[in-house]
Structure 1
Amino acid sequence: MPQRRVISGRSQEPRQRFAEELRILRTGSGTSLRQLGDRLGWDWSLFGKMEKGETLGSPEVVQALDTHYGTPGLLLALWELAAGDKSQFRERYRRYMALEAEAVSLWHFAVSVLPGLLQTRGYARELLAAGGFSGDDLTRQVDARMGRQDLLEGEGAPPFRTILSEAALRTALRDAAEWREQLEYLAKVAERPNLTLQVLPQGAGLHGLSSTDVWFLRLTDGRTVAYTEHGYGGELFEGNLAVERMQRAYDAMRDLALSPAESQKFVLCMLEELPCDPST
């Protein structure tokens, strides 16, 4: 089969092509980033980051751009291609990991899975195996996840707040002994001075983050970035308005959570509910 000939001269890589089209459309219309932000109601810096390929933005932002430029569906289709590109997910995740390493404080909310920074080796192994890893790849992934936990230890460790939905705590491992070890570990780390653990009970009802696992990182330059994730991808948000909206939802949800003391008791009560191993 003959090699496909590139006619337009534009990038064939989905994320870069999306950013390139955004830049071409804006400059072709003679609009500055600040003017674009004023007209559409989003922080102009978000559009700058989208044009640099640093973030994809949300579907709502892209739909607004399609309307503004008179390109119905074009930008949204390019956005979907870029969002579905697994190599770009890895790139965004690597950037998130770099930001996590320099963060001066972290906030987190878990919908259904415990955060990697608080997972035991047994929990991480079962979770990653369920995601398709096996053999040496599984071992490497588990080792890498355990290595991340050094971030919360030693002098200078940043403060970390995590709010765990009750659903995350009710989704047990298949191995009862491994699950007990995981709950015991949560009860133990909750006593660390730099770690605040809270539980959001199921009775709290729906809230603004009911379907979103999210991390907030406060960086050394004073900025806060957010990272949302699910089992098959994630998105890094660095635009002020998007991050602020998620922070407001987080603050409202935090008001529904149990206090740290009540949350630790909740985890201890779960341990008491577990069956004992007669061999021990």
Structure 2
Amino acid sequence: MPQRRLVSGRSQEPRQRFAEELRRLRAERRVSLRQLGERLGWDWSLFGKMEKGETISSPEVVQALDTFYGTPDFLMTLWELATGDKSQFKERYRRYMKLEAEAVALWHFAVSVVPGLLQTPGYARELLSLGGLKGKELEQQVEARMGRKTLLEGEDAPPFRTILSEMALRTALRDVTEWREQLEYLVEMADQPNVTLQVLPQEAGLHGLSSTDVWFLRLPGWHTVAYTEHGYGGELFEENAVVERMQRAYDAMRDLALSPTESRKTILCMLEELPCDPST
């Protein structure tokens, strides 16, 4: 029996409908696949595969498309239907990503891993593979994570402060070359005018965020939200009392961190400690 279709002629099969809407929206905006890739920071071929129904990609990519087309939550809803499993992308994280795109300032603390906005492809690939991803799905997630870094680029990029625990910087990748590239990238990003990077030394001891990776987003109007995360999920906090309590813990912990200049020197020293690259 042929697939039933709406009067509009659009498919009711979720994956096909998702691809159809992607083609329709791009046609309405009159942009090419290459132009779309340039504006959003992903390889244009990914969008071509999505429009052909060959992949539905990742939630980060779909969220970026919803923002670009001005269709809040529309494509994400279709994406969820196409996956058949809404648990893949929880509502709170979905809202967090939307707020992240609106933020006028971001600050962050990392307990054990480098934040996604500062990861190299090699770091992201190893971290995501440890979470069970592999093959094409792994590469799509790496590509999506790299695309998110455009948030920190351009003249209108928001100020971003990150405090990395020394543990995060001492937990190296298996591949020494990849780890060297990650540390070099952190030094490079620390030199960006909108990025402030600090290191929290181990001798600082326990503090109020010792077991919590946290993001703070300052939104237009000066309202701030917080998002805590771990390897298997996260939680968004929007209540002022809770956010203020975490901010006080963050401020107290920041007082224990090295200055940006000292932090940069610390990472450079870590680079000097690495084994020599055999290819040089």
TM (norm. structure 2) is: 0.69
- In structure 1, stretches of 5+ residues that fail to align are 1-84
**Structure 2 SS opposite 1:253:** helix
Alignment match, 1:128: 128
For residues 116 and 141 of structure 1, the distance between their equivalents in structure 2, rounded to whole angstroms, comes to 11
The residue type paired with residue 255 of structure 1 is: D
2:145 maps to 1:150: no
Deviation at 1:221, TM superposition (A): 2.5
Question: In angstroms, what is the RMSD of aligned CA positions?
Answer: 1.3
Q: Where does 1:2-151 land on structure 2 (aligned, <5 Å)? A: 87=87, 90-151=90-151
Deviation at 1:279, TM superposition (A): 2.4
Question: Could you report, residue by residue, the CA deviation over 1:30-69 in whole angstroms, capped at 9, with x for unpaired residues?
Answer: xxxxxxxxxxxxxxxxxxxxxxxxxxxxxxxxxxxxxxxx
For residues 236 and 255 of structure 2, the distance between their equivalents in structure 1, rounded to whole angstroms, comes to 25
The structure-2 alpha-carbon separation of the partners of 1:102 and 1:274, relative to structure 1 and needing over 3 Å to count, comes to same
For residues 123 and 259 of structure 2, the distance between their equivalents in structure 1, rounded to whole angstroms, comes to 25
For residues 169 and 86 of structure 1, the distance between their equivalents in structure 2, rounded to whole angstroms, comes to 34
Larger Rg: 1
2:228 maps to 1:228: yes
**Structure 1 SS opposite 2:210:** coil
For residues 86 and 130 of structure 1, the distance between their equivalents in structure 2, rounded to whole angstroms, comes to 22
**Cα pair 1:163 1:199 within 8 Å, conserved:** yes
Q: Where does 1:198-217 land on structure 2 (aligned, <5 Å)? A: 198-217=198-217
Alignment match, 1:17: none
For residues 89 and 209 of structure 1, the distance between their equivalents in structure 2, rounded to whole angstroms, comes to 25
Alignment match, 2:270: 270
The residue type paired with residue 237 of structure 2 is: F
The residue type paired with residue 211 of structure 1 is: S
Deviation at 1:149, TM superposition (A): 0.2
Alignment match, 1:163: 163
**Cα pair 1:213 1:229 within 8 Å, conserved:** yes
For residues 268 and 250 of structure 2, the distance between their equivalents in structure 1, rounded to whole angstroms, comes to 25
Question: Could you report, residue by residue, the CA deviation over 1:182-201 in whole angstroms, capped at 9, with x for unpaired residues?
Answer: 00000111001100000000
For residues 239 and 228 of structure 1, the distance between their equivalents in structure 2, rounded to whole angstroms, comes to 14
**Structure 2 SS opposite 1:112:** coil
Question: Could you report, residue by residue, the CA deviation over 1:138-165 in whole angstroms, capped at 9, with x for unpaired residues?
Answer: 1111111000000000110000000000
Deviation at 1:206, TM superposition (A): 0.1
Detail structure 1 runs of 4+ shifted over 3 Å in the superposition: none
**Structure 1 SS opposite 2:229:** strand
The residue type paired with residue 208 of structure 1 is: G
**Cα pair 1:89 1:234 within 8 Å, conserved:** no
The residue type paired with residue 102 of structure 2 is: E
**Cα pair 1:110 1:164 within 8 Å, conserved:** yes
Deviation at 1:90, TM superposition (A): 2.1
Deviation at 1:88, TM superposition (A): 8.0
**Structure 1 SS opposite 2:114:** coil
- Aligned-pair identity in percent equals 81
For residues 89 and 210 of structure 2, the distance between their equivalents in structure 1, rounded to whole angstroms, comes to 23
Question: Could you report, residue by residue, the CA deviation over 1:189-230 in whole angstroms, capped at 9, with x for unpaired residues?
Answer: 100110000000000000000000000000013210000000
Alignment match, 2:22: none
For residues 151 and 225 of structure 2, the distance between their equivalents in structure 1, rounded to whole angstroms, comes to 18
2:242 maps to 1:242: yes
For residues 89 and 279 of structure 1, the distance between their equivalents in structure 2, rounded to whole angstroms, comes to 42
For residues 225 and 143 of structure 1, the distance between their equivalents in structure 2, rounded to whole angstroms, comes to 27
**Structure 1 SS opposite 2:150:** helix
Higher relative contact order (CA 8 A, sep 6+): 1
2:164 maps to 1:173: no
The residue type paired with residue 110 of structure 1 is: A
TM (norm. structure 1) is: 0.69
Deviation at 1:91, TM superposition (A): 1.8
Deviation at 1:278, TM superposition (A): 2.5
For residues 159 and 233 of structure 1, the distance between their equivalents in structure 2, rounded to whole angstroms, comes to 25
**Structure 1 SS opposite 2:108:** strand
